[in-house]
Structure 1
């Protein structure tokens, strides 16, 4: 059975470092260590790498639920696979063959974002590179003007036809890149739009939702759980 079939309406919470695991069994944490510089021999980089490994060891020892790691290179994948329960591939790398192949070889469950510039039909090419891996897809919206991303139901319809479990990145839909642009209209960051995103996802069969716990795009786990469970 697919790892992603174990529950519905679960939350993926992205953080930069190890934090106290949620007691809610439907919240899976993902640690964003994608800034590792594994090619460098500098003291700073070595210390950073060692710190990240310590976080991974601590997460493996203390997490009461499965957790994942965001990766950005085959070497990061090799290292993260020793500790994480699943691998998370960000949208900007979703077509990078060496990363997809390395991730597939870990035999771990994979979560792959659809890049905001990737045509939805092209997720088929991504899945072909991942072969028989246990994969779930994430839609982060489609790039638009005013530093905005649009949630297009046609995209979700096409993703659903792949037969893979899929989710929505609520933080990226609400505030792309987690950055506040001076030319971005304020109404685009209205947090009540989360309800519209979740409703659209549920109507088309989304199984999970992704949030960030940091930056301008931060969404609290409690709020996300309320929206996804319909308790607001």
Structure 2
């Protein structure tokens, strides 16, 4: 049902980068749920129980699998929103699938066969983020690993390519190229404005470009839009420079739905 809705209407994956607290999840989810009701488009709530690929070992990673899934389930029960979260290791797939509706494969791990197969075998939707070192054409093979494991519910997400040091560039032809595989294609509008490792041990970026990234992807036929949002991103514990301010979310969504 959800996957078919995501094929038919513009869809949104929205939420804070990492679980900082239950209160933060509720604050963001309340706004996200209200916007879903107002615009009647598929919306999936996102947050990570563990950010296993932080730049520095000293960076905040999240509450972990058990506590994080419990907090996400509380959001689902209170706001009736479908959920998505990252998994980094194969053993996490089945446990996360007990709570979430979509399993997300991080970009760095999109060629990890065992991880893709484990996610596929849960029967949940699998969102595979394109690695920064791959082209859109290359994403046929990760998608095929999921499909060959018996799961055709695949989303492919564009998030930019490495361009020199501490920078990313987006080739929007990747959106068009990935759509040729027959799966919904999502634009990660916030990670694509990152400057990886470019802020003295943390990832920098510039959220100013998020609305433009989204509109450009729309022009190339994107089906959905991934945006991390936070009420106070300048003080967020992960990916703050790239996250959309919660108060600005509706305006961006409107431009993509109209």
Q: TM-score scaled by structure 1?
A: 0.82
Provide closer, same or farther for how the CA distance between residues 31 and 103 of structure 1 changes in structure 2, counting only shifts above 3 A: same
User: 2:186 aligns to what SS in structure 1?
Assistant: strand
User: How many angstroms does 1:11 deviate by?
Assistant: 3.7
* Structure-2 residue corresponding to 1:107: 123
* Structure-2 residue corresponding to 1:39: none
User: 1:225 aligns to what SS in structure 2?
Assistant: helix
Provide closer, same or farther for how the CA distance between residues 70 and 197 of structure 1 changes in structure 2, counting only shifts above 3 A: same
User: How many angstroms does 1:116 deviate by?
Assistant: 0.7
Q: TM-score scaled by structure 2?
A: 0.74
* Structure-2 residue corresponding to 1:218: 243
In 2, the alpha carbon distance for the partners of 1:137 and 1:89 equals: 10
Alignment of 1:145-164 (within 5 A): 145-164=164-183
Structure 2: state its 5+ residue gaps.
Answer: 53-62, 230-235
Q: Which stretch shifts more, 222-231 or 133-142?
A: 222-231
User: How many angstroms does 1:208 deviate by?
Assistant: 1.5
* 1:52-101 CA distance string (max 9 Å, x none): 24214323422322111111111111110011111111101111001100
> Is residue 135 of structure 2 the alignment partner of residue 119 of structure 1?
yes
* Structure-2 residue corresponding to 1:181: 199
User: 2:250 aligns to what SS in structure 1?
Assistant: helix
Alignment of 1:185-204 (within 5 A): 189=206, 191=208, 193-204=209-220
Q: Which stretch shifts more, 25-34 or 158-167?
A: 25-34
Aligned length: 216
User: 1:15 aligns to what SS in structure 2?
Assistant: coil
* Structure-1 residue corresponding to 2:187: 168
User: How many angstroms does 1:199 deviate by?
Assistant: 2.1
> Is residue 43 of structure 2 the alignment partner of residue 24 of structure 1?
no
Provide closer, same or farther for how the CA distance between residues 77 and 34 of structure 1 changes in structure 2, counting only shifts above 3 A: farther
* Structure-2 residue corresponding to 1:13: 15
User: 2:128 touches 2:154 (CA, 8 Å); kept in 1?
Assistant: yes
User: 1:74 aligns to what SS in structure 2?
Assistant: coil
Provide closer, same or farther for how the CA distance between residues 209 and 176 of structure 1 changes in structure 2, counting only shifts above 3 A: farther
User: 1:107 touches 1:133 (CA, 8 Å); kept in 2?
Assistant: no
Provide closer, same or farther for how the CA distance between residues 180 and 147 of structure 1 changes in structure 2, counting only shifts above 3 A: closer
* Structure-2 residue corresponding to 1:34: 50
User: How many angstroms does 1:145 deviate by?
Assistant: 1.7
User: 1:55 aligns to what SS in structure 2?
Assistant: helix
* Structure-2 residue corresponding to 1:68: 84
Provide closer, same or farther for how the CA distance between residues 53 and 170 of structure 1 changes in structure 2, counting only shifts above 3 A: closer
* Structure-2 residue corresponding to 1:93: 109
Provide closer, same or farther for how the CA distance between residues 60 and 9 of structure 1 changes in structure 2, counting only shifts above 3 A: closer
